[in-house]
Structure 1
Amino acid sequence: MCKKSEVRQFVQYFIPPFYIIVFLSGFVGNILVVVLYAFYKRMKTMTDVYLLNLAIADILLLCTLPFLALGAGKSGWILGNFLCKTVKGIYKLNFFSCLLLLTCISIDRYIAIVKAVKAHASRNKILLHSKLISFIVWVTAVMLSLPEFRYSQKVEAQKSCSTVYPGKILKPVAFAVQLTVGFFLPFAVMLFCYSMIIAKLLQAKTFQKHRAIKVIGAVVSVFVLSQLPYNTIMVLNAMDAVNITITDCKTLNNLGIATQITESIAFLHSCLNPFLYAFIGVKFRQDLLKILKDIGCVSQQQFRRLFKPQQATWKRSSVHSETETTRTLSL
């Protein structure tokens, strides 16, 4: 029996400070998105609805990190069985909802740009559909996270909060679902949608198309770089859960440490979502400047100086027939 003492020692020193840093940085950015929508923006498009739901999901996901950081410390999990189930369940619920919402954003951008005429004609219906789709996403995420709520428990021997699946079938099935919904489905949709969008942009005459392509490259690259390492390790864990292929204790320790590192990197996506999907947009930056002015961080003179160039850029882009394209891509 491998006790994995090296993994526990690594977790004690690495996880608490890292999770707290991720929580603080991600929480601020996502709260700003929610505040912008609550006080300065009206939800007019499907992307607006998805971005608000994505920010809420990111906030709820990040709020589980302080509890997980505390449980990773030297004292282990001291918060009891109920909080173990709650924290693990909420983490998994918002993990699935975040990735499903990213998938929805990709599809929405594809429809708005590649199928622009049809999307413009049915704008009112689309906004209603986006709220219904967001509701379906949350219901789906709840259903997918039910095993986490059910089987997570405090393990006294290890002083940890872990998900202990009964039998030998449920654990690999849970791994397979997480891999499919948490990586392969979003990645496949992103790859198809953004490939079609790039092909459309290359035919356009707007002067902002090269910037739009760079934004798409950043979105896809950040997703792959943050999620691929963790999901690769998940494949190895799933194979080991089915066949128990890894018997060497040192290899098991290395795999455990790699799991912790790659999972931590995956959390960074929640910090970057506001910048990839919201703050990069001209209108979002304008609204952010309004908030800073209202709370006294930016003077009226500074606000006018910063605001005017952005207004000019926005007006120049509206001359082109692809205004909706650049707006949809949050440029």
Structure 2
Amino acid sequence: METLLLNQSVYDWEFDEDFTSGELIGPCTFSLNHSVTNVLSLYVHSIICILGFVGNTSVIITYAFYKDTKSMTDVFLLNVAVSDLLFVFALPFIAYSELHSWPMGQVACKLLRGSYSVNLYSGMLLLACISMDRYMAIIHLHSSFRLRLLSYSRLICAVVWVCAVLLSIPTFVFYQWYEPSTRVVFMLETKDEGPSSTAPQYICEMKFEDSETAETVKVAVPSIQMAVGFFLPLVIMMVCYTAIIVTLMKTRNLHQNKEVQVVSVVMVVVVVFITCHLPYNSVLLRDTVSMFKQLSCEEADSWQTALTVTQSIAYLHCCLNPLVYGFIGVKFRKNFKKVFQDLKCLSKQQPFHLVKQRR
């Protein structure tokens, strides 16, 4: 069966207006997008990996070992940090696969792209869970006490991870490790140039067996990603946090300063989420809607570059999550200071816990 390949764009070739003349003006080189991708992979993605690793590792250590009483939000934040940390580990390989051939085989290809998809869905859904938990804790504190037990939070996290895996099944299935075909067949007579002497270059991209499957998947995957990975969490966050702000603004008591602080934190959370993810999802929506429309090479290159830049902005969220959801809290900062205090003790001859035991 003939294989149909749809990798980055269906507009890789540009034709002369008089197609009957048989003049071919392609292929499109996407030179602007390649240049931008090189810069982003070398500098921006490196910074994201470093900051994301430090921030999320700190959150995991603090919540796992230095927080005695854990709430439902703590469990959600711990899982968000795990999801972001896994993404940070995968990002260098994703950047490499976009710039070069993929030498690591079929299994690594599927695991890389599949894990990226799982982390994306799990991270976004967990942020929505945090919003709902904050809503229940502030608006329905007494009635929601039983629903916010640790056992339920762990169950919810397990359900979120399972849903993320199920939503990522198309990614696991259709991403393949293969050698791309460099010959495009047209309704024209062409000369056979003979076999190439260069070594085969394998890539890790989506590959389809027929055009109907290709069209369906190429539209369905980004559509589900936008719906579940952006719009659903955004709606939940806006509804929950709006209700929280309205409720807190109506109260007048001695804890007014604390209420102002909560409202400020809510605004920061929403602004950071929208700033990071709205540009990418807007460009992705436009790209999905016009996927099968004919574009010139310059226009296709510009939109692909916009998609690459806004995607890197979305990647920044994994660095900002520890700051927005973790370090902004007073209790978390106190526990985080204990990490450095214990590290100082471990650097001495007698560790802190041994000195405490001798006393």
Normalising by the smaller structure, the TM-score range is 0.7 to 0.9
* TM-score, reference length from structure 2: 0.77
Aligned counterpart for 2:228 among listed residues 181, 184, 199? 181
Look up the match of 1:270.
Answer: 318
Aligned counterpart for 2:204 among listed residues 146, 157, 161? 161
Deviation at 1:43, TM superposition (A): 5.1
Name the CA distance, whole Å, in 1 between partners of 2:346 and 2:329: 19
Aligned counterpart for 1:235 among listed residues 285, 308, 313? 285
Aligned counterpart for 1:134 among listed residues 151, 154, 157? 157
> Taking every aligned residue pair, what percent have the same amino acid on both sides?
37
Name the CA distance, whole Å, in 2 between partners of 1:288 and 1:147: 40
Name the CA distance, whole Å, in 2 between partners of 1:56 and 1:248: 42
Moved more, 34-43 or 168-177: 34-43
Kept after mapping to 2: 8 A contact 1:58/1:94: yes
Deviation at 1:132, TM superposition (A): 0.9
Look up the match of 1:314.
Answer: none
Kept after mapping to 2: 8 A contact 1:50/1:104: yes
Deviation at 1:89, TM superposition (A): 0.5
- Please list the CA deviations of residues 66-111 of structure 1 after superposition, one character each: whole Å capped at 9, or x if unmatched: 11222234x4333333222111100110000000000000000000
Higher relative contact order (CA 8 A, sep 6+): 2
SS for the counterpart of 1:44 is coil
1:191 aligns with 2:217: no
SS for the counterpart of 1:77 is coil
- Please list the CA deviations of residues 251-293 of structure 1 after superposition, one character each: whole Å capped at 9, or x if unmatched: 1101111111111100111111111111111111001111111
- Please list the CA deviations of residues 124-174 of structure 1 after superposition, one character each: whole Å capped at 9, or x if unmatched: x63221111110000000001111111112353486432335431121111
Name the CA distance, whole Å, in 1 between partners of 2:202 and 2:29: 13
Moved more, 163-172 or 244-253: 163-172
SS for the counterpart of 2:214 is coil
Kept after mapping to 1: 8 A contact 2:135/2:243: yes
1:148 maps to a residue whose letter is T
Aligned counterpart for 1:42 among listed residues 55, 68, 71? 68
Which entry has the higher C-alpha Rg, 1 or 2? Answer: 2
2:298 maps to a residue whose letter is K
Look up the match of 1:202.
Answer: 249
* TM-score, reference length from structure 1: 0.84
Look up the match of 1:101.
Answer: 126
**Structure 2 residues not aligned, in runs of 5+:** 1-12, 14-26, 181-200, 348-359
1:81 aligns with 2:106: yes
1:8 aligns with 2:34: yes
Aligned counterpart for 1:150 among listed residues 165, 173, 189? 173
SS for the counterpart of 1:41 is coil
1:68 aligns with 2:94: yes
Name the CA distance, whole Å, in 1 between partners of 2:298 and 2:177: 25
Name the CA distance, whole Å, in 1 between partners of 2:42 and 2:89: 13
SS for the counterpart of 1:208 is helix
- Please list the CA deviations of residues 1-21 of structure 1 after superposition, one character each: whole Å capped at 9, or x if unmatched: 153431234323322332221
Name the CA distance, whole Å, in 2 between partners of 1:48 and 1:72: 35
Name the CA distance, whole Å, in 1 between partners of 2:258 and 2:280: 34
2:216 maps to a residue whose letter is I
Name the CA distance, whole Å, in 1 between partners of 2:98 and 2:342: 40
Aligned counterpart for 1:33 among listed residues 59, 66, 78? 59
Kept after mapping to 1: 8 A contact 2:40/2:312: no
Name the CA distance, whole Å, in 2 between partners of 1:233 and 1:297: 50
What is the aligned length?
Answer: 294
1:113 aligns with 2:125: no
Look up the match of 2:115.
Answer: 90
SS for the counterpart of 1:119 is coil
SS for the counterpart of 2:290 is helix
Deviation at 1:208, TM superposition (A): 1.5
